[in-house]
Amino acid sequence: MPFQALANHTPSRRSDPDSSSPAEATRPSRLPLYLAAILPGLALAACVPAPTDGVAIPDATTMATDATDTEADADPASRPLQYAGLSDDGTAFQAGRASFYRHGSRTANGERFDPSGMTAAHRTLPFGSRVRVVHPASGREVVVRINDRGPFTGGRVIDLAEGAARRLGITRAGVAPVELYRVE
Burial environment of residue 22 by CB neighbours within 10 A (0 to 12, 13 to 18, 19 or more): exposed
Q: Which pLDDT score is estimated for 135?
A: 96
Q: Which residues of the chain have pLDDT under 70?
A: 1-27, 41-89
**Could you tell me the residue ranges of all domains in the chain?**
2-47, 88-182
Q: What DSSP string describes 48-111?
A: SPPGGGS-----HHHHHS-TT-TTTT--GGGHHHHHHT--SSSS-SEEEEEEEE---SB-TTSS
Q: Which pLDDT score is estimated for 137?
A: 93
Q: Which pLDDT score is estimated for 119?
A: 95
From CA 52, how far away is CA 23, in angstroms rounded? 52
Q: Which pLDDT score is estimated for 105?
A: 87
Q: What DSSP string describes 94-107?
A: EEEEEEEE---SB-
Q: Which pLDDT score is estimated for 49?
A: 53
pTM value is: 0.54
Architecture of domain 88-182: Beta Barrel (2.40)
